[in-house]
Structure 1
């Protein structure tokens, strides 16, 4: 699946496909596979879906899958084909996401688009939108967000966690941007999966106590908070609001797996061999 040759290709995509704490994910166990990344969603392994969409994004030149167990993933025909083309490589997964990003960033060209193997609803257009907005902002680091309204329009129960700012609620789309090797310190934003709503102590570690207080009290807009964080890190970090709320729905558990399959069956028909949508 070659990228459009008319577009200058300057972005490396890291697809994070590791195991959380090295343990077997419940969805993988239920599907009878060794890792969550290859759990089928509407009949297609999650990692295959994500890599296909990333590969079809015209701004993406190279793809690196960061995984603990590469063999099961590398045997997927799409993945094997991209490897033969020299467009896709693997990096060794670590047991936290920050160190895994650092592993994937070794020896690759910047800037980096970072996405996850469970982002099954993001389209090539979604990745292009994110990349284009990051480049337009001249961002050294960025996080993709979707508004509460857009997410709930996509599906009322597809995502339940929102960051509250003075200008509204936003959900994380598991899309990140690292503009240069010097900006890799921004990977700290993603430590432990970035679950700041559930574990606010992680904001203190990454951003500082005052930013935690502002975040928890909803003081200021997302732009103001990111500007304050930028000063802490010493380079420009921006929030990137994406147009489609589907991008914030990833496959975390049985509920979101069922939601994602339902949406994909509407898009592409039933490819699951007759498994009913929830």
Structure 2
């Protein structure tokens, strides 16, 4: 293990492009772009960027999407771009392809990747994930949150979860690419991104037949899953189990949007 007193400094990559036309969350805002849709009065992208800027672990921020023309019409983002506090590249055709593109744009490692719809992201969440990632011996770390943790705070929220021993676990839209070799995972991600809402297919793609059977029987542990994925990809992949329910909440739907807005209103009133 690395010395936890050594503070790793991360570049940040924010995936901020719309995945498909006619996104129902994008339709809730005036910009026509999901990332710039306001939640409780503040565009989601503004919230994520401000959170990343508040972390002492983050050195610079790069956006992949939305299109530069939309950013130039947003005074807050335009000012950040003009001052060089944020860089931007045009998005690719998919989240995985955009991640690959962004990693090519950022020469240094480590890089933390998150999404613009992570509207409940807080500095504590970012710092915890980056500190755990920096203390690991992994090429890549992936944030996961126990479904029980999510439901304890958001009992009516429906989240896609992967059934593993000690779980189920929800993805949490935080990825740390620690080494140059970590880009192999971005290529792997491109191959399975269309299956992300079907955990069984993801497991089958990543782990092979025998491990898939163990997964279906509920006997596959998180650690074993990471070991199998590491072997499949050819890099050391580890999971950071997050103690924050909000880490697993992104805004994929109107119901997610309503949940996040309620949560932010409650947070502002306390």
TM-score (norm 2): 0.88
Contact 1:211–1:229 (8 Å) recurs in 2: no
Across the aligned residues of Structure 1 and Structure 2, the Cα RMSD in angstroms comes to: 2.3
Aligned to 1:119: 118
Aligned to 1:186: 185
CA distance in 2, matches of 1:170, 1:201: 16
CA distance in 1, matches of 2:246, 2:17: 23
Q: Tell me the SS of whatever aligns to 1:167.
A: coil
Contact 1:68–1:94 (8 Å) recurs in 2: no
CA distance in 2, matches of 1:194, 1:12: 27
CA distance in 2, matches of 1:178, 1:191: 18
Residue correspondence of structure 1 range 133-212 to structure 2 within 5 A: 133-187=132-186, 188-189=188-189, 193=193, 196-198=196-198, 200-212=200-212
CA distance in 1, matches of 2:195, 2:240: 18
Q: Tell me the SS of whatever aligns to 2:105.
A: coil
Contact 2:162–2:199 (8 Å) recurs in 1: no
Q: Is 2:74 aligned against 1:76?
A: yes
State the Cα deviation string for residues 42-71 of structure 1 (Å, max 9, x = none). 111111111111111110101010014122
CA distance in 2, matches of 1:117, 1:195: 21
1:62 to 60, 63, 88: 60
* Bigger mean CA deviation after superposition, 78-87 or 99-108: 78-87
Contact 1:146–1:172 (8 Å) recurs in 2: yes
CA distance in 2, matches of 1:76, 1:83: 10
Q: Tell me the SS of whatever aligns to 1:264.
A: helix
Q: Tell me the SS of whatever aligns to 2:13.
A: strand
Q: Tell me the SS of whatever aligns to 2:159.
A: coil
Q: Tell me the SS of whatever aligns to 1:165.
A: coil
* Bigger mean CA deviation after superposition, 175-184 or 26-35: 26-35
CA distance in 2, matches of 1:41, 1:124: 18
CA distance in 1, matches of 2:171, 2:138: 17
Aligned-pair CA distance for 1:154: 1.9
Aligned-pair CA distance for 1:147: 1.2
Contact 1:203–1:209 (8 Å) recurs in 2: no
With over 3 angstroms needed to count, the CA separation of the structure-2 counterparts of 1:210 and 1:77, relative to structure 1, is farther
Contact 2:29–2:36 (8 Å) recurs in 1: no
Aligned-pair CA distance for 1:247: 1.1
Gaps of 5+ in 1: 1-6, 271-278
With over 3 angstroms needed to count, the CA separation of the structure-2 counterparts of 1:35 and 1:193, relative to structure 1, is farther
With over 3 angstroms needed to count, the CA separation of the structure-2 counterparts of 1:31 and 1:78, relative to structure 1, is closer
Aligned to 1:104: 102
Aligned to 1:17: 16
CA distance in 1, matches of 2:17, 2:191: 14
Aligned to 1:91: 89
Aligned to 2:263: 263
Aligned-pair CA distance for 1:165: 0.7
With over 3 angstroms needed to count, the CA separation of the structure-2 counterparts of 1:230 and 1:241, relative to structure 1, is same
CA distance in 2, matches of 1:185, 1:135: 19
Contact 2:15–2:65 (8 Å) recurs in 1: yes
CA distance in 2, matches of 1:239, 1:179: 13
